[in-house]
Amino acid sequence: RNLKWQMECRSDIYRLNTQFLSIYESLIPPEEEKAKQKQLLTLLEKLVCKEWPEARLYLYGSCANSFGVSKSDIDVCLAIGDADINKSEVLLKLADILQSDNLQNVQALTRARVPIVKLMDPVTGISCDICINNLLAVVNTKLLRDYAGIDVRLRQLAFIVKHWAKSRGVNETYQGTLSSYAYVLMCIHFLQQRKPAILPCLQGMRATYSVTVDDKKCAFFDQVENLRDFGSRNRETIAQLVWGFFNYWAYGHDYTSSVISVRTGSVISKLEKDWTRRVGNDRHLICIEDPFETSHDLGRVVDKFSIKVLREEFERAADIMHYAPNPCVKLFEPY
């Protein structure tokens, strides 16, 4: 089907590919941004250690999972060994400490779903969210980063998909569309499903990394330097994969009965997960299983209005990849 598409519809496939690659390159953060992030982290470590000498800070999210574009905020997790702490108290104390060290816009959001302290560092210009003891996010960050180390096409595809989602306004969980984390999982799953596969299923392999977080065992193969040729039998280029990705979510995915699962490297059934009906606010209209919190559907934020928006956007993107004369412009047009 891909070949047919190339020959009949898109004789401009090579040009298209070059264009996608240059969009990808332009989104990669420059080295000096990494250095600034390190600098801010070191400052935060110094401040935190005065109050909680045993505590540790971890970067998570897009600044550490290798799917961060230029000028992203950074996500930091403060790990305090004691499980019985009162998170609100710690956050308020932390906000106090940060405020008195000239950090700006310091705000403790103690009632958020994930309570955090927000701040802006005037020296580096970086904004930062700090959460407490959210170690699962640190572990899923590592999983994503390890997948990115296997085949560069994952990072290319995910950058394009995230850029598309932000441009089209469908990366807003509070409006019922999907998180960046969900989009990256969709990309990993898609590349696990290619024939031949471009990515393996790390959680299905012999575990070389294993931790237990909140009573959940998180184990997977993490020696990804040994998997560098894994996808080499598949020669698909980024333009083909972008097309395939949108085509899958527009016309290939079975929204009625399927769940995508990076954990198993396959599509599993809603029936098996008991995700067939609405429970509380979880409607399961698009099902994306969290790789470690397996009872957690990352599509839970999607409601009967936003599912329509999302599916129309997938169809628009697929159709653009098929027919539009200039997909690299049209795809990212602001909504």
Give me the residues that bind ligand GTP (CB under 6 A), please.
Answer: 60-62, 65, 67-68, 72, 75, 136-137, 140-141, 179-181, 290, 293, 296, 298
- Residue 304 contact, options Mg ion, ligand GTP, none, Cβ 5-8 Å cut-off depending on partner type: none
Q: In 18-89, which ranges are E strands?
A: 56-60, 74-79
CA 119 from chain center: how many Å?
Answer: 22
Sign of dihedral through CA atoms 275, 277, 280, 283? positive
Q: Which is nearer to ligand GTP, 17 or 171 (CB)?
A: 171
C-alpha–C-alpha distance, residues 174 and 302, integer Å: 9
Q: Decide: 120 and 104 in contact? Cβ < 8 Å.
A: yes
Give the x/- contact pattern for Mg ion in 73-92, rule: CB under 5 A.
Answer: --x-----------------
Give whichever of 10 and 36 is closer to ligand GTP, judged by the CB atom.
36
* Comparison of 75 and 151: residue with beta carbon closer to Mg ion: 75
Structure tokens that stand for 103 in this block: 């950090």
Structure tokens, 122: 């005037």
Question: What is the nearest approach in angstroms of ligand GTP to the Cβ of residue 37?
Answer: 13
Indicate whether 140 belongs to the interface with Mg ion (CB under 5 A): no
Draw the binding track, 49-78, toward Mg ion (x: CB under 5 A; -: no contact). Answer: ------------xx------------x---
Closer CB to ligand GTP, 33 or 290, in the complex? 290
Instruction: Count other C-beta atoms under 10 Å from residue 199's C-beta.
Output: 25
* Minimum gap (Å) between residue 162 Cβ and Mg ion: 11
Closest approach of ligand GTP to the CB of residue 294, in Å: 11
The residues, ordered by sequence, that sit 6+ positions from 148 with a Cβ below 8 Å of its Cβ are 65, 66, 67, 154, 155, 158
Give the number of residues in contact with Mg ion, rule: CB under 5 A: 3
Cβ 245 to ligand GTP shortest distance, Å:
18
Task: In whole angstroms, give the CA distance from residue 143 to residue 66.
Answer: 11
The residue number with the shortest CB distance to Mg ion is 61
- Nearest approach, Cβ of 62 to Mg ion (angstroms)? 5
- Residue 182 DSSP label: H
Q: How far is the CB of 105 from ligand GTP (least distance, A)?
A: 17
Q: How far apart are CA 229 and CA 224, in angstroms?
A: 10
Select 163 or 270, whichever has its Cβ closest to ligand GTP: 163
- Return the number of the residue (12 or 172) whose C-beta is nearest Mg ion: 172
CA distances from 261 to 3, 5, 288 (A): 28, 28, 6
Residue 176 contact, options Mg ion, ligand GTP, none, Cβ 5-8 Å cut-off depending on partner type? none
Q: Tell which positions 102-121 bind Mg ion, by CB under 5 A.
A: none
Binding site partner of 136, from ligand GTP, Mg ion, none, Cβ cut-off 5-8 A by kind: ligand GTP
- Taking the least distance from each CB to ligand GTP, the nearer of 159 and 243 is 159
Pairing of strands 209-213, 74-79: unpaired
Q: Is there a contact between 132 and 89 (Cβ–Cβ < 8 Å)?
A: no
How far, in Å, CA of 67 to CA of 6, rounded? 28
CB atoms under 10 Å from CB of 174, counted, come to 6
Residues 204, 264: contact at Cβ < 8 Å?
Answer: yes
Angle between helix axes 13-27 and 238-247 (nearest 10 degrees) is 90
Nearest distance from C-beta of residue 149 to ligand GTP, angstroms: 16
Judged by beta carbon, residue 128 or residue 227, the one nearer Mg ion is: 128
Smallest gap from Cβ 183 to ligand GTP, in A, equals: 9
Give the footprint of Mg ion on this chain (CB under 5 A): 61-62, 75
